Structure 1
Amino acid sequence: MLKRTFLRRYATASLATFCLSFPLLSHAASPAMVTKGELTYGTAATFMPFEFTKNGTLTGFDIDLMTALSQKLSLKPAPMSMEFKGLIPALQGKRLDVINSAMYINPTRAEQVDFVPYLKIGSRVIVAKGNPEKITGRDLSLCGKNIAVTLGGIEESQARVDNQKCLDAKKPAITVLTFPAATDSAVAVAQKRADAEFLSTPGAVALLSEKGDTFETTGPEFEADTHIGFAVRKGDNEMKTLLETGLKEMVADGSYQQLIKKWQFPASVSIF
């Protein structure tokens, strides 16, 4: 009897010692969430066709992607809509698990967050139908013109670079008009308050499919190898690994490519 009691105690103690020797296993497999069982993500729903509101419902490629990815991870997607400029502070403040808002990956942002890339896209110059200002693309024909861009987006950076090129060439400056959303930039072009808009290639496809009688593109696609990705907190390797796992499963079962086709993106956007 004494021998059996000793063995039971020894086995229990040994098991406890074994578990304590691997204290990070469960944490690595299950990163801490804002809300247990949910994947809380921030999105600025003003960037068609990635994230936007239609008939009061949040929709777009990114929304579909996160919904499908969450299902792969047995989590409930929980979107939080906010202004684009507020996304990184909300993530850093631990109000979000991830940013899912077609965020362009650049060195400045990479100092603040870690990225999980999922697409690569280029941009186009959008003008009013008939191209009244005879703009020939992202070139010196933009000098002296009003260019509409999304505040804080890569388009604003691109337009400011182009303005400097105009100044260096001794040509009139570009007036960079910033707006909260790409849709606002399009309205400015339609109302002739802006001469052109910089817009992602998928966004241009969506805009022309709906308003082809109002807008057209001019010049070739530019910066076509720009990557966009989910953003997670700096050093949050557990969340990064979780998202990468979900993406791999979507690529493997074909659902990633199905979403690209559904939203009529060019095949070149795929990075897998």
Structure 2
Amino acid sequence: MNKTTIAAFALTLCAATPVAAAELPATGLVEDGSLTYGVAATFAPFEFQKGGQLTGFDIDMIQALAKKLNGQAKAMNMEFKGLIPALSGGRIDLINSAMYMNAKRAEQVDFIPYLKIGNQVIVQAGNPAKITGRDDSLCGKTISVTLGGIQENQARADDERCKAKGLDGVKVLTFPTAQDSALTLRQGRADATFDSTPGAVVLQTEVPGVYETVGAEFESDTSIGMATRKGDTAVQGAIKAALEEIVADGTYKQLIEKWKLPASVSIFN
């Protein structure tokens, strides 16, 4: 799904006259009357665990969508790399995990975009490795990232770019969660980590004086979306209808404000 398609989808929702959200499909769900969704709860502020409970923007949003659909939202928390196989295998109805939309994933799932975000390079406070951003200062450095996430792809692309220039490559360390990646940086076992702009804000707010960002935000128009099985028009249509309603009644905007995301993340103007 390209940016033109995403923009058209957003404009359609904004221009549409709100109608009652469709009911959940009567058949074809993992559990009748419920949306069983896959989530990798490692990506604050979108999905993470606090006190043993799932929380975050996406968790609140799926609850709001399920309410519009007169159903329940039931989570299956798993590693990020297992989300698409679980969806394709029929173990979940939907992926709701701040999934970055790209062409490779769009070959495997159908997306419903709902936010756009950027990414930043995060280093230890004081920047001991003297990294200046997502540039050649990363060459020869170690970057910690979440396994299977877009940040891993970005770090490996930087490794190839450095080597193509005849410079030392980037050592990429992968971890199950963004929190693990950040901890590795804090412990000095990595020189930098990549995270979303909202994720960087969370890190600097929760542990002030430990991290800082360097360089400009990159890939700042990356869309994230919920994902349904290829050709599953029933679930796709129900989610789109419910999303239309939470945009129209202000719930979507309220969730952006609650989780202190910048207003620029909205794709609905």
**Larger % of helix: which?**
1
Unpaired segments ≥5 residues, structure 1:
1-25
> 2:179 aligned with 1:151, yes or no?
no
> 2:213 aligned with 1:217, yes or no?
yes
Alignment of 1:205-244 (within 5 A): 205-244=201-240
CA–CA distance in 2 between the matches of 1:63 and 1:48?
Answer: 11
CA–CA distance in 2 between the matches of 1:49 and 1:31?
Answer: 33
1:46 corresponds to:
42
CA–CA distance in 2 between the matches of 1:30 and 1:212?
Answer: 49
Distance 1:31 1:222, change over 3 A: farther
1:84 corresponds to:
80
> 2:93 aligned with 1:68, yes or no?
no
1:200 corresponds to:
196
Indicate if the aligned counterparts of 1:202 and 1:265 stay in contact, CA closer than 8 A. yes
CA–CA distance in 2 between the matches of 1:264 and 1:69?
Answer: 20
Indicate if the aligned counterparts of 2:24 and 2:71 stay in contact, CA closer than 8 A. no
Give the deviation of 1:32 after TM superposition: 2.4
2:31 corresponds to:
35
Q: Between the two proteins, what is the percent identity of the paired residues?
A: 60
Q: Which amino acid aligns with 1:105?
A: M
Residue deviations 1:210-264, cap 9 Å, x none?
Answer: 0121111111100001111111000101111111101100000000000001001
CA–CA distance in 1 between the matches of 2:116 and 2:33?
Answer: 30
1:18 corresponds to:
none
1:183 corresponds to:
179
Please provide the CA RMSD for this pair. Answer: 1.4
> 2:78 aligned with 1:105, yes or no?
no
Q: Which amino acid aligns with 2:163?
A: L
2:168 corresponds to:
172
Q: Match of 2:140, SS?
A: coil
1:9 corresponds to:
none
2:262 corresponds to:
266
Q: Match of 2:160, SS?
A: helix
CA–CA distance in 2 between the matches of 1:91 and 1:217?
Answer: 35
Structure ID, larger Rg? 1
Residue deviations 1:167-200, cap 9 Å, x none?
Answer: 1221111101111110000000000000000000
CA–CA distance in 1 between the matches of 2:238 and 2:48?
Answer: 25
CA–CA distance in 2 between the matches of 1:245 and 1:138?
Answer: 39
Indicate if the aligned counterparts of 2:29 and 2:93 stay in contact, CA closer than 8 A. yes
Unpaired segments ≥5 residues, structure 2:
1-21
Indicate if the aligned counterparts of 1:31 and 1:239 stay in contact, CA closer than 8 A. no
Give the deviation of 1:75 after TM superposition: 0.8
After TM superposition, the score normalised by the length of structure 1 is 0.88
Distance 1:247 1:27, change over 3 A: closer
